[in-house]
Structure 1
């Protein structure tokens, strides 16, 4: 498949890296295989396989001859991707695979490479071995605790995200500190994050983690190697840590917080990859439980939409998911809750509150459309136009009005005094608004204006 899904974010990030970084990345079989599998279009993979076991460079014209003239766009896309990823050396009209990539991809495909290059399975039995069901439950709880925290739900202290996770959310501007308190609140980027498919969510956090590598005193290439290695591991198998580098061992504690790996305790010498890890370089969903991801929790399939929106701004949500209810509470006023049903109302205040958190009208409309009940989907358009228009108007209303802290001056002794003060305020850059007909002006700072008026009055005595 072409690399075009949301979960490709991690791989798209690589495209902007310098050639020297690619040379280091290609030194590991797991990384070479992951890039081959997930970053190349089908035609690009075909070209790579043609060159992989060929000792000589292949004329570009030969590769071009394999493609039907009507598919030139696919050919150009494949060539561009090979060049962009520095996978080929181009010389005198020929292509040859990068030597390092060629060696490591061969190892990956033929089972070569040193022990541990695809993880080192433990050679002793785990007395308290865990199964896949346990790992799925663990990953779900860890990941959902982050999502619950983001939408403002109460999270038990034992499951509250660690300081490292909170720092990562703040660093990525998915959350921000409230101005009036030390508490954190979701941002526009955070709301978009909640609506992503879970693999994309995981990669979003991992890329933020990668962005903080320098602060964490970690090698970014080593981090990427480990992430691609995790994507190649077997779910349910326990692995020994002794083949990991110091950077990778340090990563395990953070990855535990995200639910990507499981360790019974921090001193344990073995770890288990969860489904969040093994899905990093695949196209399958990381978690399949309906409650396991925000995507599954709030973006059900067309047949399972849960929201009904009426022209009177009332909403009926057929759900008992705390995540779904918490997201509704971000932009609607909850009225009552029953088993499997929540009623709410969209109000000017609820929309303005959502907008103040950085959530846009379009995000709210898209969310309601994506989760509309099948009964609502029979309508064209799906949502009542009056509701959609009003949500947009409430956002525009907020954009039209801007509050500025300042001071109002009025009742001047004469018109000449008013004009002089206006000119002075404008000259020093504090004039915000003026109404000459009423003899009033509004300034952002008053000390200098008051001194000017006082000195002017004294000089006129």
Structure 2
């Protein structure tokens, strides 16, 4: 047995690349029984292996073909001092995933994981965990890859376009009720006092992420709701992992799917992860959104999504607050409309200005100044990237000043207590209110103070008891 320099992981990997996949903390929070059930599927083991860091993968491969456990000291002997921190972190990750036992004396892979992962990489076994291809039909040939890409892009952009156009007076295509419920539960959109759903600060931050990260943000919320919807979490995870290992452009049968997995078909159609000719169809085709769930390949066929935009950037910002956006994508235009006063639209160019009113409108929707600046930086045109600093400092400062201007005053409902008979009465009631921690403002000279709404009932009762006691 040999271990090929674990310390090179620490030397050659940037700190940003060691950030674990967003799904791993969720998996680590699950019970050993749940994970062992999940590891019964070879496709799940392969997908989780893909999500792990390079050092975790290396440890698994070195233990995979061993028939018995080895002393932990034997493995640790191959680790140099500078790499011990990363080695210990990798072991801790595998412990929490129950891929390795928590024992520090000997190391051996979880038997269920080892058996399934061996099947995954050798092609043995007949569990059908990678999907059962549907028989070919002469009547309906399989959907082409180009058609599947177009379908996935249209469904995904419908969701994003609805988010950025909500509350603007526009009327984009409305996603399904299930998608809207997921957006609200995830905090990306919110209804304020019964108003229609509007994008939140978290929703705008969501738009800054890559399509891959956006997709997993929604799927994680979907996983959190599995138990609430009386769905088997293991079946849900297994189906997502199964989709990530399927072949793009091929049709698969639904006959071998579990109850929870069949219930997921409608949701996954709405998200653009799978395509079915009819809701009652006995076959489905995975789209690129699902086949890239556990890979580093882009989940969308083009870079026209809101969060990605053209890879090289498309926004030019001048010191006079004028913005030139070289795009003809309605999604990108809608995002700009959240904080830019748009003036002209040409076939491949949108012109507008960042104004006090446009920024105040964005701030009122929960979008922060730093988020606006971050969006402009991440989508800056290559020509702007030659500047240092990238964005004009005057524009950045003014956007933040407009935010400070909005935050100068804060309103809070409550009651003003005045007309006390004496200074002693005033101080007696004030001290009682302070004990309740409900005093928002006080003025001793005028014998008045302002209390929060929550404390009014207690203060009023205290005053009434004091008054009745003094009169009696």
TM range (shorter): 0.7 to 0.9
Once the 2 structures are TM-superposed, how far is the Cα of residue 337 of structure 1 from its aligned partner?
Answer: 2.3
Shift of 1:255: 0.3
**2:106 matched to 1:94?**
yes
Alignment of 1:342-353 (within 5 A): 342-353=350-361
- Whether 2:115 is the aligned partner of 1:103: answer yes
What do the CA deviations read for 1:237-293 (whole angstroms, capped 9, x no partner)? 0000001001100100100000000001111000000000100111111013122x2
Q: Give how far 1:422 is off.
A: 7.6
Do structure 1's residue 220 and structure 2's residue 228 form an aligned pair? no
TM-score normalised by L of structure 1: 0.87
Per-residue CA distance 1:175-224 (angstroms, 9 max, x = gap): 00032x43000111111111111111111111111111122110111100
Contact kept? 1:145, 1:155, Cα under 8 Å? no
- Return the alpha-carbon distance in structure 1 between the equivalents of residues 384 and 325 of structure 2: 12
Shift of 1:122: 0.7
Q: Secondary structure at the residue paired with 1:161?
A: coil
1:139 corresponding residue in structure 2: 152
1:15 aligns with 2:28: yes
The answer to whether 1:194 aligns with 2:207 is yes
Shift of residue 61, structure 1, vs aligned partner: 2.7
Structure 1 partner of 2:5? none
Per the alignment, residue 33 of structure 1 pairs with 46
* CA RMSD of superposed structures (Å): 3.0
CA distance in 1 between partners of 2:82 and 2:412 (Å):
60
Which residue of 63, 72, 75 corresponds with 1:51? Answer: 63
Distance 1:92 1:352, change over 3 A: closer
CA distance in 2, matches of 1:431, 1:419: 17
CA distance in 2: counterparts of 1:253 and 1:294, whole angstroms: 24
d(CA) in 2 for partners of 1:409, 1:47:
69
For 2:180 and 2:337, locate their aligned partners in 1 and report how far apart those are by CA, in whole Å: 22
The answer to whether the 8 A contact 1:57-1:96 is kept is yes
Native 8 Å contact 2:426 2:448 kept in 1: no
Q: Are 2:265 and 1:252 equivalent residues in the alignment?
A: yes
Instruction: Answer whether contact 1:29 1:107 (CA < 8 A) is retained.
Output: yes
Alignment gaps of 5+ in structure 1: none
Distance between the aligned counterparts of 1:443 and 1:100, measured in 2? 61
Aligned pair count reads: 445
The answer on whether the counterparts of 1:23 and 1:100 sit within 8 Å (CA) in structure 2 is yes
Q: How much does 1:357 deviate?
A: 2.0
TM-score by length of 2: 0.85
Q: How far 1:400 moved relative to its partner? A: 3.2
- Per-residue CA deviation, residues 371-412 of structure 1 (Å, 9 max, x unaligned), is 1222322221111112111222222333331013456688x6
Structure 2 residue corresponding to 1:80, chosen from 92, 107, 112: 92
Could you tell me how far 1:28 is from its partner in structure 2?
0.8
What residue ranges of structure 2 are gaps of 5+ in the alignment? Answer: 1-8
Q: Which residue of 1 aligns with 2:289?
A: 276
Spell out, residue by residue over 1:144-177, the C-alpha distance to the aligned partner (whole angstroms, 9 max, x if none). 0000010116455xx5211110001111111000
C-alpha distance in structure 1 between counterparts of 2:381 and 2:423, whole Å: 62
Structure 1 residues 222, 312: CA separation in 2 closer, same or farther (over 3 Å shift)?
A: same
